[in-house]
Structure 1
Amino acid sequence: MIDPKKLDDIAQKLSDSMPEQLKTAKHEMSKQFKQILQTQLAKLDLVSREEFDTQTQVLLRTRQKLEALELKLQELENR
């Protein structure tokens, strides 16, 4: 999933962009922004970078095996 530190940074940037009059509630708003971001991101069907990279490698190996099998089949058909 997404790094909690990045969520904190995004929430902090959102609260920093608030008008000066609202900055008294800055800490509370930052917590609420973080909670909203976590809730909305949890609704998305996301995978971690590690899982994505693993699946990419699996797909690459599968393609290589398929190409090898296609070559063997072609050799057998040519006989």
Structure 2
Amino acid sequence: MLDPKKLEDIAKQITEAIPPGVKTMAEGAESKVKQVLQSQLNKLDFVSREEFEIQSNVLIRTREKLAVLEAKLDALEKSQQDKKTD
């Protein structure tokens, strides 16, 4: 789902933002911060950028196919109407 490297980077940024006096205690907390972040982000209904791009491309292709099918249907309906009027 989410890139573990990005989670590590976020956890590291949070850890680095902690004041130096608390930093030694924070080093042990970095892995816990990662676990909590991963857990909370997994609860959210997010998709990765890659998954989003793939689905966007699928949707574009589907719309293109639908437009082609609609045009064919219109042509068939027009053809049927022309036959009825003859």
The TM tier, using the shorter chain, reads 0.7 to 0.9
Match of 1:59 in 2: 59
Aligned mates of 1:27, 1:20 — CA distance in 2 = 11
Aligned mates of 1:67, 1:78 — CA distance in 2 = 16
Match of 1:7 in 2: 7
Segments of 5+ residues of structure 1 without an aligned counterpart are none
- Describe the SS at the equivalent of 2:46: coil
Paired letter, 1:28: G
Segments of 5+ residues of structure 2 without an aligned counterpart are 80-86
Larger Rg computed on CA atoms:
2
What TM-score comes out, normalization by structure 1 length?
0.83
- Equivalent pairs: percent with the same residue? 52
Match of 1:77 in 2: 77
* Count of matched residue pairs: 79
What TM-score comes out, normalization by structure 2 length?
0.77
Match of 2:82 in 1: none
Shifted more, 57-66 versus 36-45: the winner is: 57-66
Find runs of 4+ consecutive structure 1 residues off by over 4 angstroms.
Answer: none
User: Residue deviations 1:21-50, cap 9 Å, x none?
Assistant: 211212112112111101101101222333
Paired letter, 2:30: S
